[in-house]
Amino acid sequence: MDEKIILKDDLLRICGDVIDKGHILLCPVMNEYSIVKDFSRIKLDASALPAGTSFKCYVFPKTEPVLYYKRSKSDVQLIDVNIDRKNIVILGAKPCDANSLNIMKHLFNWDYSDEFFNLREKNFIIIGLMCSHYDEYCFCTSVDSSPVSEKGSDIFLIPVDENKFAMRIITEKGSEFISPYAEYLKTGDENISKQITENVKLPKVAFDSNEVYEWLGENFESPKWEGIGNLCLSCAKCAFVCPVCHCFDIVDEDYSYTEGRRMKNWDGCQFGNFTMHASGHNPRDIQSKRYRQRVNHKFRYYVDKFGEILCTGCGRCSRGCPVSIDIKEIVSNCKD
Amino acid sequence: MDNQKWEPKIVAFVCNWCTYTGADLAGTSRMKYPANTKMIRVMCSGSVDPVFILKAFERGADGILVSGCHPNDCHYNAGNFHARRRWDFFHELLDFIGIEKGRLQFSWISASEGKKFADVVSKVTKDIKAMGPFTNYQKMNSEFTALFPEEANADSEIINQIKETVL
Amino acid sequence: MNLLKEVFMKYGYFPGCSQTGSAKEYDISLRKVIEKLGVSFDEIEDWSCCGATSAHVTNHKLSTALAMRNIMLAEQQGMENIIAPCAACYNRLIMSQFEIANHSGIRKETEELLSASFQKDVKVFNVLELFLNIGIDKIIENRKRELNDLKVACYYGCLLVRPSGLTKFDDAEQPESMEKIAEATGAKTIDWNYKVECCGAAHSIARRDIVVDLSKKILDDAKYHGANVMIVACPMCHTNLDMRQRVMKRTYPEHEDFPVLYITELIGLALGMDEKELGIDLHFIDFNYKDLVPENSGVG
Amino acid sequence: MKELREHAKELLEKGEVSAVIGYSQVSEKRTKPIIVTDPQDTDQLVFNEYCLNNLAVYLTKARIKVSCRTKDKTLKLAVTAKPCDVHSVVALIQENQIHREDIHIISFNCHGVAKDFGFEFSGDNIASKCINCETHKPLYFDKIFGEEKETPKASDDAMERIQEIERMSHQERFEFFKNEFDKCIKCYACRAVCPLCYCQRCITDKTIPRWIESSSHMRGNFAWNIVRAFHLSGRCTGCGECERACPVDIPLSLLNRRMAIKAKKSFSYVSGRSLETPTLVGSFNEKDNDELFM
Amino acid sequence: MKIGVFICHCGENISSTVDCPRVAKICESYPGVEYSVDYKYMCSDPGQNLIREAIQLYKLDAIVIGSCSPHMHERTFRNAAFSAGINPFMVEIANLREHCSWVHDDIESSTLKAIELVRMAIEKVKRDKPLSKINVPVTKRVLVIGGGIAGIQAALDVANAGYEVVLVEKEPSIGGHMSQLSETFPTLDCSQCILTPRMVEVHQHPKIKLLTYSEVVKVEGFIGNFKVTIKKKARHINEDLCSGCGMCISKCPIKKKAYNSFEEDLAFRSAVYIPFSQAIPNIPVIDETVCTYFQTGKCGMCLKVCDRGAINFDQKDTVMVADIGAIIVATGYKLYDIERKSADLKYKGYGEYGYGKYRDVIDGLQFERIASASGPTSGEMKRPSDGKEPKKIVFIQCVGSRDDSKGISYCSKICCMYTAKQAMLYRHKVHDGEAYVFYMDIRAGGKMYEEFVRRAIEEDKVKYIRGRVSRIYEENGKYIVKGEDTIAGMPVEIDADMVVLATAMIPQDNAPALARTIGIPYDKYGFFNESHPKLKPVESTTAGVFLAGACQSPKDIPESVAMASAAACKTIILLSSDTLEREPVVAKVNEDLCAGCFYCQKVCPFGAVEVKDVKDINGIVYKEVAFINQGVCQGCGTCTATCLSKSIELSGFNNEEIFAEIAAL
């Protein structure tokens, strides 16, 4: 592994250059990933909690047009959307967020290659940052990840001291990105960073994902679901703040009586209308079925299909739940 | 947009019994008023939903007029009273959100007030002309993304696209 | 409850020109009576003419601006309520307020003239409203003597209760509030026909002949219905009905003097003050309560 | 606390209610809703300054309604409600969602709650709705617990913000709300937590015609937020749950509060205060303000 | 869907400012439009044929007509479409004449507007759904509210056509104001002589059920199917037993406690009383408020003297419910109160005329009673205060009427005539008396009316003074009437013995309350509103409710009678068929989505919204939803806008259609 040391000031200099080149720089500022123009706002604080929302919206926007159409008397004319190709650099992504694109990628390239996702994803450079703080909702260690996981990052930073970072270049994309800035990089000592990462306090492993997988397979009709379903209010806040939830809805929107566009919008499996059929039948008509679907999808179906858990353990869904439903608690208590 | 040539687009939601008939009277009396206002006939001013107003703004209306029978004159006794309360709220809400009160106007015009109809429509047209196009709302149609369809290719618009979809 | 609240209201005082001249005794008696009833007021600083002179027929803009200037001053000096004891001032002030409130054009024009904007709703009261606000009970409570030998004709004149749409405190055609106040002094009131007729104030100087005719009818009707004194709440009325009785005698030699008091003076008497203190001796027609009291009645 | 648990237990044991909707402690400064059907579980019930949720929202949940129905009759449902939550219950009764006789209200003398979970309850961290709250005692209840305590003093920032907005020009206001609404991701958490958003299918889910565009672009967000505020105007009881639930911190209660001020100013109506007065929406007065109309 | 567009030139009415061929051509290019054409007169026979042929030739599903206002020819075109085999509600009209060509000058802009209007109609018609008319059964019974001359006339007309009538009168006797009048203008025939036979006829008519001393308290239902709740107030007399002998009245010891309202308070009546001697029914009423028995529990004199045992102190108000097919409202009028009424400041009263302080300043109806042979003075001219014969009398017209400052702007219409009549009657009775009339204008439009006024002036020497009276006050037993003669330009002062004020006709006090009970609109004064001022003068806007007489606006007797007969005729037309056909513009609830908040019920002006239980498969009610009774719904759509979950749609104007119209802008 190629390990370097970089000064914080030099890192910021690189940021300045990125902005000068016309790329977009995303950084967690004030509890959210925002586009940064003034890099004095960049904090790079390893002890911060995950941002309120992930950077999912930059690769999978909450709403985007997929085509435009124009009706005339005899036919319908379709107009493609020109997709943006701007480079996006994410600096300071939490390990739990950094891994999200890797997980989501499977879905968008399964039976159909979603160019809207892929083109955006291709232009992403993710610079991950080790995480040194967790709260009662964090459970990355339970889903095959950890605060020091490099998964998903192109470049991974480990704070050595206040002004210095150890930098691991993980992917080719990462090394390609960093190569123009070789002058800033000094050779680092793998042992120092290793020592730091080993000393990071890890959240307790709350559950064994394999056991959960087994349990879900056997307990589709468990009475537990009803109890949760009664409490859950069917908002889709958990899905919308989740870094890996990826359901979307396609709607046509008219501009005028002949023209319109087709939109791809976020959707959430907790909505009552999510599975509503045109016939009026709704296979997941009550909330307990919908919540069961959510948990199954994350810990069983996605594993079946793509071999990965659809969860990064960031805990956003539980932290924000208006009625304090904690997915970690539900999953870890499933057997009692 | 060339303000000299710009003509406002005004929608009027009018009740079948009073204002629509009043407008008919304005017609039979050959009173002249500007052609900007297109009328949508509803049965009663009480049946006009505030979402109609939003839809009309979305479709590029620069101003809206809602008109029904005078109080106590409603063909349905009380539809206009309910409407009055509803609009009182909605108008104040729009005002709070930053939509000038003049964009949405209301009147009571009876079947015999052809003159008043012509006057009201002229006044609303004048007001809206003075306020200019409702770009605030119209801009929103394309603000998340590029304009339909050729402009969609413009690079600057795509930057907008990314910017505007930021959470 | 409401009344109590009003008692503690603070009033601004707009005297008007008459109060400083021909109706000085009105001013004196008002101040004394109010003090006795435990209400205080501040005179509006730098007040000016209300515009009720010929201004309101010759220059509308000016008369409105004059009136509103005083209201603006009151507003600036933190007064929410003002008393205008002169009926003409009262009328002018409320009329101007009405116009300001109902015609945005006039409002704008006046605000520009005064380079100020009217924000608060300053309430203007006449003396009748003032005493009703203070409360009849308050007069009865503080009464030192009962004036039950007085048979009072309450004369409202034309401006005090008109225009009827604006002066909502009493009926324009058959008012009763002054009677209520007068009765609180222990005096009897009479029912008569001329209480809202015109005394001719507008022609006070120019056409004395008209004034004399009109005033004479008023005084005669009061006498005919058994009154022995008349009370008024307007300096104009007082001028015509009191001062002009001398001229009246020239045209109608048979006319007998008939005392005309301000309502404040009547209350003052009931509160135990004497005629001199109240300025009644400044009237043209003499009035002394003791003269009316039959001997040996034991009062006073 | 003890009395509350005993009362709940008694209700369940005697079969007077089919369930008790209440709060249970999660951590020191956090509670969560709990639906107790087993008398044994009543010892989980708590009430303190961290009971933020407005549990009235559960009263209209169809599943809960179903679970309290037996073949012969509908059992009562007990709900623990802060005095302000009782307003929501009242509004639900007025809007025919529940019947007063079907519901057992357990309420408390309340002196405010924290602004969010995890904050120490004090004057600095008091929920905005509790500042200047006038109902420390519930207006309707079947059982009341807790002693009366002084509410911590705090300044009403939300009110100041409204006034600040009112001082802005129309253009500034529009920009302000555009920026706020822009954040909306249409997760509809505001709708889900609102006790008065009980429609089986929300106007925004109607597709023929499409009332409100489901896309969360500017236009759709504007329409949704305006319509949400409008549908609640004259109805919103000001529990503030929508704002608390919003993941992107849109100041929803500014709109709700502004409309409540309007209702009070123009119609002397405060939602959810009395079962006797007719609802503001759905009634009219011939003397209503007519100034709007030419 | 195939749509046909038909643009009418209306001769040159439309085509002079709208380029009709261009409109038709552009419309042809719109999606869905199969055929588009313009023609000189679409409504003419050849025009309609053109439409029919096009529908059949091009197999059109819906049509759009660009023509005059739908209020003009919607029906014509719907019928044409129907005869060609398409649903009449698949027709939309774009108003190119009243709303476009007639009101704009510029050809370009009005053509563009016309295109937009047609486009909106095209988009709407695409969403239109075929509708069919609604049939409702009809109950063949009529309710007449008010037993004055209008109510009597209407009841008799309907009953004579063979339908049942329920006549409700709030007073103990029918007859109304007409029974109080002395003689009627312009013929000077005796009012009671012409009225009482009709009253008797009502009483004896087998088809009329007469309910006096009763009030309508609730009206539910809809045209053809009203359910009316009537409260019958307790008379404390058993109507079946009472023979009307009057023994109780003559023996009642309470003689001077209550004024006789029939005599306009000019006389007293006993505690048990019959309003007047010709009353129908001739059955007394006991006034609880003055009767000694009710006040103290003692007396019972009437009970002792009644040999039929008809007195029943325990009688209670009773309530009955009647099924009614149509309602005729004939509640009449009252006179403007000149007195000071602190409780009701709607009208200001006349302080300048003494607020009723002077006993000899009376109103028109009081004069009628004084002049009436059956009145308190037996027809002799005596003034109320001292019974002296007034030698000088002043009549003042327009007291209240046409006086904005007192709250009424309208003309009461009958005062000019009855003042002339009263002045004439006075002069006939007091030959040496002087009669003065203060008037603003003389409005004597009517057969023999102007001649009648001239007769009063010329033959009976009534002195007419054009001007207003500013004040009346008493002096030495005389009433000084101060006024102005505006023709001479001089102030006038008349020392009259009596003054008669021709006070305005205003609606009954409870008219607005009754209007709300029935669900009909009323104007700002409280007069009921007709459906159309010219073409539907006797219909109210609520289907099945008709108006007669002065409750709609001031009227004299012949006009009231004419209106009553017209209303009766309309009612008879309605009842002549067994079922009613109604336009299908009604609201419908989507029961699956309805959340059951019942705001629709609260806003529905017609009470058309009912509660419907929805049951699950086990028969357990799991929710309540709104249900709209299609017979009651009038199609205003207020519920659709109020419904928060948008679960109600108004057929013919549904939200999808309106959205489509907005989209086509």
DSSP E149-218: HHHHHHHHHHHHTT-EEEEE-SSSSS-GGGGG-SEETTTTEEHHHHHHHHHHHHHH-TTEEEE-SEEEEE
pLDDT for E215 = 95
Side-chain-side CA neighbours of residue B138 (13 Å): 13
- Residue listed under structure tokens 């040194």: A132
Residues 6+ away with beta carbon under 8 Å from B84: B71, D284, D288, D289, D290, D292, D293
**Least CA distance to A253: which residue of chain B?**
B141
Is residue C118 classed as helix, strand or coil in its secondary structure? coil
- E638 closest CB neighbour out of B20, B46, B56: B46
Residue B128 to chain A, least CA–CA distance (Å): 22
Residue in A closest to E116 by C-alpha:
A257
The amino acid sitting at C66 is L
Judgement on whether residues A281 and A182 belong to the same structural domain of the protein: no
Query: C–E: how many Cβ contacts below 8 A?
Result: 20
Residue D223 has pLDDT above 80, yes or no: yes
Phi and psi at residue D191, to the nearest 5°: -75, -40
Question: E599 in contact with B at a CB cutoff of 8 Å?
Answer: no
Tell me the residues of chain E between 646 and 665 that have a Cβ less than 8 Å away from chain B.
650, 653, 655, 658-659, 661-663, 665
C-alpha–C-alpha distance, residues B133 and D67, integer Å: 56
Q: What are phi and psi of E491, to 5 degrees?
A: -70, 145
Find the residue in A nearest to D191 (Cα).
Answer: A235
Size of interface A-B (CB pairs under 8 A): 43
- Average pLDDT of A102-113? 90
Inter-chain CB proximity B27 and E665 less than 8 Å: no
pLDDT, residue D70, reads 52
CA distance E475 to E488: 26
E307 contact partners, CB below 8 Å, separation of at least 6: E247
ipTM over 0.85: no
Residue E186: CB partners within 8 Å, gap ≥ 6? E417, E421, E446, E447, E448, E449, E451, E452
Please state the three-class secondary structure of B24-66 as a single string. Answer: HHHHHCCCCCCCCEEEEEECCHHHCCHHHHHHHHHCCCCEEEE
| DSSP 8-state class, residue B4 | T
Given CATH 3.30.2350.10, say whether it is the number of domain C2-127. no
Dist. CA D100–CA D89, nearest whole Å: 9
Q: Do E403 and E469 meet the contact criterion of CB atoms below 8 Å apart? A: no
Interchain contact, B51 vs D227, CB within 8 Å: yes
Residue range E297-313: average pLDDT? 89
Residue from the list D62, D69, D97 with its beta carbon closest to the beta carbon of E620:
D69
CA E265 to each of CA E256, E261, E269, E366, E506: distance values in angstroms, whole numbers, following the listed order: 11, 5, 9, 8, 19
pLDDT in tens, A169-227: 889 988 888 888 888 888 877 788 888 888 888 888 888 888 899 999 888 988 888 88
Residue E326: domain span = 141-233+317-332+508-575
Three-state DSSP string of C135-177: CHHHHHHCCCCCCCCCEEEECCCCCCCCCCCCCCCCCCCCCCH
In a domain? residue A52: yes
Which region, left, alpha or beta, applies to residue E280 given φ > 0 means left and ψ of -120 to 50 means alpha? beta
Shared domain for E49 and E148, answered yes or no, is: no
A72 and A191, same domain (yes or no)? yes
Q: Which domain-ending residue is among E480, E506, E532?
A: E506
Strands A24-29 and A88-93, how do they pair?
parallel
Residue type, position E369, single letter: R
- Cα E69 to Cα E103: distance, rounded to the nearest angstrom: 13
Question: Would the CA dihedral through B26, B28, B34, B38 be positive or negative?
Answer: positive
What pLDDT is stored for residue E616 in this prediction? Answer: 78
State the nearest Cα–Cα gap between A246 and chain E, in angstroms. 28
Most confident of A205-219, E459-473, E593-607: E459-473
In chain C, residues under CATH classification 1.20.1050.140 are 2-127
CA count, 13 A, side-chain hemisphere, C250: 7
- Where does the pLDDT of residue E342 fall: very low under 50, low under 70, confident under 90, or very high at 90 and above? very low
Peptide bond before residue E281 is cis, with ω within 30 degrees of 0: yes
- From chain C, the residues in CB contact with E351 under 8 A are 171-174
Q: H or E segment at C275?
A: helix C275-278
Residues of D in contact with A236 (CB under 8 A): 187-189
From chain A, the residues in CB contact with E30 under 8 A are 73
Would you say E246 and E149 are in contact if contact means Cβ atoms under 8 Å apart? Answer: no
Do E178 and E204 share a structural domain?
yes
The most distant pair of C-alpha atoms in chain A lies apart, rounded to whole Å, by: 72
Find chain D residues with C-beta within 8 A of E594's C-beta. 200
Phi, psi for C265 (deg, rounded to 5) = -70, -40
How crowded is residue B60: how many other Cβ atoms within 10 Å of its Cβ?
16
SS3 at position E502 = strand
Does E485 lie in the same domain as E342? yes
What pLDDT is stored for residue B144 in this prediction?
Answer: 58
Q: Does B87 touch chain D (CB under 8 A)?
A: yes
Burial environment of residue B160 by CB neighbours within 10 A (0 to 12, 13 to 18, 19 or more): middle
Residues of chain B with C-beta less than 8 angstroms from the C-beta of E531 = 75
3-state secondary structure of A298: helix
φ, ψ (nearest 5 deg) of residue C192: -145, 180
Partnered with residue E141 across adjacent β-strands are E164
- Does A77 lie at the interface with E, CB-CB under 8 angstroms? no
Note whether A189 and A33 are within 8 A (CB): no
Strand partners, A32: A29
Q: Which CATH architecture has domain B10-133?
A: 3-Layer(aba) Sandwich (3.40)
Backbone angles phi, psi at A88, to 5 degrees: -120, 125
**Which of C125, C127, C229 minimizes the C-alpha distance to C167?**
C125
Same domain flag for E211 and E165: yes
Same domain, A47 and A169: yes
Chains C and E touch (3+ CB pairs under 8 A): yes
- Would the pLDDT of D63 be above 60? no
**CB-CB under 8 Å, E354 with C174:** yes
Architecture of domain C136-292: 3-Layer(aba) Sandwich (3.40)
Q: What is the pLDDT of residues D232-284, one digit of tens each?
A: 998 999 888 999 999 888 999 899 999 999 998 888 899 988 888 889 888 88
Q: Which of E485, E506, E527 is the last residue of a domain?
A: E506
Contact flag A255-B159 (C-beta cutoff 8 Å): no
Size of interface A-D (CB pairs under 8 A): 99
Pairing of strands A24-29, E3-8: unpaired
Where in chain D are the domains? 2-145, 157-267
Chains in touch with E (3+ beta-carbon pairs under 8 Å) read A, B, C, D
pLDDT confidence of residue D97: 86
Nearest by CB to residue E595, choosing from D200, D208, D210, is: D200
Q: Indicate the pLDDT class of residue B163, thresholds 50, 70 and 90.
A: very low
Residues of C with CB under 8 A from a CB of E: 164-165, 171-174, 193, 197
Q: How far is CA A257 from the centre of its chain?
A: 38
Q: Which residues from chain E sit within 8 angstroms of residue C197, using beta carbons?
A: 471
Considering only alpha carbons, which residue of chain A is nearest residue E122? A257
**Coil, strand, or helix at residue E57?**
helix
Distance, in Å, from the CA atom of C55 to the CA atom of C63, rounded to the nearest integer, reads 5
Element (H, E) at E5: strand E3-8
pLDDT digit string (tens) for B108-156?
998 878 889 999 999 999 999 999 888 888 777 766 543 333 333 433 3
pLDDT given at position B156: 35
Contact E636 B56 (CB under 8 A): no
Determine whether the interchain pair D281/E599 forms a contact, defined as Cβ–Cβ distance below 8 Å: yes
Supply the pLDDT for residue A311. Answer: 92
Map out the domains of chain B as residue ranges: 10-133, 134-167
Residue of D nearest to A235 (CA): D189
pLDDT score recorded for residue C2: 40
DSSP code, position D100: G
Quote the pLDDT of residue D146.
Answer: 85
Question: What average pLDDT does range E627-656 have in this prediction?
Answer: 89
Cβ-Cβ contacts under 8 Å, B32 against chain E: 103-105
pLDDT digit string, tens, across residues C244-291: 898 889 989 999 999 999 999 999 999 989 888 898 888 999 888 877
Residues E552 and E471 in one domain: no
Say whether residue A71 is in contact with chain E using an 8 A CB cutoff: yes
Residues 6+ apart with CB under 8 A from A309: A103, A143, A144, A209, A298, A299, A302, A303
Among left, alpha and beta (phi > 0; psi -120 to 50; other), residue A313 is left
* Mean local confidence (pLDDT), E555-570: 96
Confidence class of residue E450 from pLDDT cuts 50, 70 and 90? very high
**pLDDT for the residue B161:** 42
Closest by Cβ to A261, choosing from B59, B148, B163: B148
Residue contact B93–D175, C-beta within 8 A: no
Mean pLDDT (chain D) is: 87
Identify each DSSP E strand in E452-535 by its residue range. 463-466, 469-475, 478-485, 490-496, 498-503, 505-507, 530-532
Judge: D187–A235 Cβ closer than 8 Å, yes or no: yes
Interatomic CA distance for residues E570 and E555, integer angstroms: 20
Dig out the tokens for E200 from the structure.
């008797």
| pTM exceeds cut of 0.90 | no
Contact: D200, E646; criterion CB under 8 Å = no
Contact between B163 and A35 using a beta-carbon 8 Å cutoff: yes
Burial classification of residue D274, based on how many CB atoms lie within 10 Å of its CB (0-12 exposed, 13-18 middle, 19 or more buried): middle
Start-end of CATH 3.40.50.11810 domains in chain C: 136-292
Contact B31 E655 (CB under 8 A): no
Cβ–Cβ contact E73 with B under 8 A: no
Strands (E), E110-152: 134-137, 141-145
Q: Are residues A60 and A184 in the same domain?
A: yes
Give mean pLDDT, residues E27-46: 90
| Confidence class for position D68, pLDDT limits 50, 70, 90 | low
Spatial separation of the C-alpha atoms in residues D103 and D18, rounded to whole Å: 10
Domain that holds residue A301: 209-332
Same domain, A163 and A222: no
* A83 and A176 assigned to the same domain: yes
Please check whether residues E196 and E321 belong to one and the same domain.
Answer: yes
Please say whether the beta carbons of C49 and C42 come within 8 A.
no
User: Which residue ranges in chain C fall short of pLDDT 50?
Assistant: 1-8, 296-300
Would the pLDDT of B2 be above 60? no
Q: Do both A23 and A141 map to the same domain?
A: yes
Residues of B in contact with E94 (CB under 8 A): none
| Residue A134: pLDDT band with limits 50, 70, 90 | confident
User: Do D173 and B90 lie within an 8 Å CB cutoff?
Assistant: no
Note whether residue E239 is domain-resident. no
Cα torsion C231, C234, C238, C240: sign: negative
For residue B159, pLDDT over 70 is answered with no
